[in-house]
Amino acid sequence: MHTDNKQVRVRFAPSPTGYLHVGGLRTALFNYLFARKHGGKFVLRIEDTDQKRSIPGALEKLTITLTEIGLHYDEGPDIGGDYGPYIQSQRTDIYEEYTQKLLDSGNAYHCFCSEERLNNLREEQRKRKRPPMYDGKCRDLSKDEVAYNLAQGMPFVIRLKYPKEGKTVFDDVVRDRVAIDNSMVDDQVLIKSDGFPTYHLASVVDDHLMKITHIIRGEEWLSSVPKHIFLYESFGWEAPVFVHLPLLLNADRSKLSKRQGDVSVESYLDKGYLPEVMLNFIALLGWHSADDRELYSLSELEEAFSLERINKAGAVFDTEKLNWMGGHYIRNLDVTYIADQSRRFFEEAGIDISDNDRYLKAINTARDYVYCLSDIVEHARMFFEELAFSEEDRDLIGQEDSQRIFSYWIEALGEKAQWEPEEISLLTKQSIGDLGIKGKNFYFPIRLALFGSCHGPDIPTLIDILGRDEALKRLEACVTR
């Protein structure tokens, strides 16, 4: 990968349309990793020139999500930098200046075609199974005709005057050499009738002025590269290195879309998928390391990442793999961190977790059963709430053997205030021997009394989490007077 001697500068340039798509997170992550690997700069730029799609508050939400997940940018709308403003709607005077240069050099032209004419044209092309393209009606208007139309106040857009002969050939790090027939490239609208630029003009101008060295983005932009190269050439600028990432796919290999499930990063974070899990999982969508490892911290990814190991083929967003990874992280990260990350779910459920010692121990047990933190409450709430028993449970609790077990344990636990798990293990063995009750006939009733279910952690763990006093209280509540 040639990075020359220029400092690597890359950008993530989302539109503020409401939420961060997992595909957007992958683009941001690959840009971030490449910048960190080469000691470069990672820039956040907001592409809001499509005013109809911009949603109020989306920018704040986006910056919060990126920060929460751990992708800290070096320049951006909220932190500034040497190449601002970093919001495109605040740069319109810059685009006007460069549009004028294109008009002066004859590489762009005014188009006065009405929306109605363009719709009819597209409809006609669709019927004839042709790709919808502008037919060039205004391409060769004389200066006088243009001046007359402008004087009349006719609405217009400004289009790129793209050459119709030959091919455009360019290099892409993932696709190698790409050739596109010029006759297949449309005269792209550069300035819309509302005066705002389209992505094509704004991104090329900004990438040049912000000294972006590598453009890492989704492959849906690959077919637009000839227009962008023509713009670079028209301005006499050097084009950056292009890197187009493979599509993200659903399990059925269709394009990952909102219709088929969750695609917003926020919804995964809200469910309690850890930021570390999301970054690790998403890094492996379309990239693999030299040693084919699966588990990486962010700093390990920064070390291992390279553009050359990005695949051409689409990457399947495999929820089962995400869940496997989620479970691995929840079981293996520090328990106090998992407990802190889980707190909000207990608060939302209205569960009092003020007994911190019990809370930590409960989390440590419950985390073996979950892959995202929103599920942890269901596996821990029984340590904090009064137990509710079904009719079937009550039958088991009321049986003679069950009652003998409860009485035995109430007496034994009452003998001293502190019990270590090893002592409870010995007491378990001793009580099985003394009572002559074993297997599920012993374990089901005592677990039910302490935990509300016949299945779950072992007795020493349960009593360690609850503490002697709460364990006694629960056993006593099951003694039928």
SS (H, E, C) 228-295: HHHHHHHHCCCCCEEEEECCEECCCCCECCHHHCCCEHHHHHHCCCCHHHHHHHHHCCCECCCCCCCC
Residues 147 and 185 grouped into a single domain: yes
Is there a single domain that holds both residue 14 and residue 24? yes
At residue 1, does pLDDT exceed 60? no
pLDDT at 74: 98
pLDDT 10s digits, 360-378: 999 999 999 999 999 999 9
Q: Between β-strands 157-160 and 189-191, what pairing exists: parallel, antiparallel or unpaired?
A: antiparallel
104: pLDDT confidence band, cut at 50, 70 and 90? very high
Q: Kindly tell me the burial class for residue 39, based on how many C-beta atoms sit within 10 Å of its own C-beta (0-12, 13-18, 19 or more).
A: exposed
The percent of residues above 70 in pLDDT, for the chain, comes to 98
Q: How many domains does the chain have?
A: 4
Contact 199, 207 (CB under 8 A): no
**Domain boundary, last residue among 315, 333, 351:** 333
Mean pLDDT of 84-93: 96
> DSSP of 412-423, one letter per residue?
HHTT-S---HHH
Inside any domain, residue 219? no
Q: Do residues 158 and 180 share a domain?
A: yes
pLDDT recorded at residue 412: 97
The CATH number that applies at residue 426 is: 1.10.10.350
User: Alpha-carbon Rg of the chain, whole angstroms?
Assistant: 32
| Domain stop point among 191, 207, 226 | 191
Mean pLDDT on 182-204: 96
Record the pTM. Answer: 0.93
Q: Could you tell me if 159 and 173 lie in one domain?
A: yes
> For residues 23 and 256, is the Cβ–Cβ distance under 8 A?
yes
- The answer to whether the CB of 109 falls within 8 A of the CB of 161 is yes
CB 450 within 8 A of CB 475: yes
Same domain assignment for residues 371 and 462: no
Which residue in 269, 274, 213 sits closest to 239, CA to CA?
A: 213
379 plus 419 within the same structural domain:
no
How many whole angstroms separate alpha carbon 111 and alpha carbon 434?
Answer: 96
DSSP state at residue 219: G
| Average pLDDT over all residues of the chain | 95
Residue 172 has pLDDT above 70, yes or no: yes
Q: Are residues 23 and 97 in the same domain?
A: no
> Percent of the chain, pLDDT > 90?
92
Same-domain status, 7 and 55: yes
Residue 111 lies in a domain: yes
pLDDT at 153 over 90: yes
- Pairwise CA distance, residues 439 & 426, whole Å: 16
Q: Which residues contact 320 (CB under 8 A, 6 or more apart)?
A: none
Residue 64, CA distances (Å) to 83, 424, 460 in order:
22, 47, 43
Kindly state the average pLDDT of the residues 217-238: 97
pLDDT of residue 2 exceeding 90, the answer is: no
Give the integer Cα–Cα distance in Å for 237 and 228. Answer: 11
Model confidence at 263, pLDDT cuts 50, 70, 90, reads: confident
**What's the CATH code of the domain at 113?**
3.90.800.10
Report whether pLDDT(215) > 70.
yes
* pLDDT (0 to 100) of residue 442: 97
The angle formed by the CA atoms of residues 422, 424 and 430, to the nearest 5 degrees, is 110
The CA distance from 334 to 357, in Å, is 15
Whether 258 and 180 share a structural domain: no
From residue 327, alpha-carbon distances to 41, 296, 297, 366 in Å are 33, 14, 15, 11
142 three-class SS: coil
Contacts of 290 (CB under 8 A, 6+ apart): 304, 309
| Residue 315 covered by a domain | yes
User: Does residue 408 share a domain with residue 393?
Assistant: yes
Work out the average pLDDT over 388-412. Answer: 97
* Rounded CA separation 60/98 (Å): 30
Q: How many residues does the chain have?
A: 481
Host domain of residue 256: 1-77+246-333
Q: What is the pLDDT of residues 455-479, one digit of tens each?
A: 999 999 999 999 999 999 999 999 9
Answer yes or no: is 440 within a domain: yes
Q: Are residues 148 and 108 in the same domain?
A: yes
Asked if the structure places residue 206 within a domain, the reply is no
Catalytic residue among 101, 137, 258, 440: 258
Measuring CA to CA, which residue among 73, 59, 89 is closest to residue 9? 73
**Residue 234: inside a domain:** no
Q: Which pLDDT does position 136 carry in this prediction?
A: 96
Q: Of 267, 302, 333, which marks where a domain is finished?
A: 333
The question of whether 258 is a catalytic residue gets the answer yes
CATH of the domain at 301: 3.40.50.620
Q: Residue 176, by phi and psi: left (phi above 0), alpha (psi -120 to 50) or beta?
A: left
The alpha carbon dihedral of 308, 313, 316, 321 has a sign of negative
Beta strands, E only, 287-431: 315-316
Within a domain: 241: no
pLDDT of residue 481: 61
